[in-house]
Amino acid sequence: MAVVDIQEYLKLIPALKHSPQGYLWSSYDQEADTLYINFKKSSHATDSEITDDDVIIRYEGEEVIGFTVLHASKR
């Protein structure tokens, strides 16, 4: 049986509880070193903005539907 450090995942609970929809989907692209976080399963961004620390915030209308973290392994 594989051993997983559950304690690291449990640290996500506060963020999940405060997410806009109460849901959180994530994926990590190792080759691009990019982490994708989505608050809606079926989402289509209509706008986005990049922050000074290379985080792209995605919007559907006025609602934040997720964000993309560039250079994720360096954080």
Q: Which domain holds residue 17?
A: 6-74
53 belongs to a structural domain: yes
| Count of domains for the chain | 1
1 belongs to a structural domain: no
Yes or no: say if 66 and 38 are a contact pair by the CB < 8 Å rule. Answer: yes
| pLDDT range class, residue 3, cuts 50, 70, 90 | low
Percent of the chain residues past pLDDT 70, beyond the cut: 96
> Is the confidence at residue 32, as pLDDT, over 70?
yes
Averaged over 45-57, what is the pLDDT?
A: 97
33 belongs to a structural domain: yes
Pairwise pLDDT comparison (50 vs 16), residue with the higher score: 50
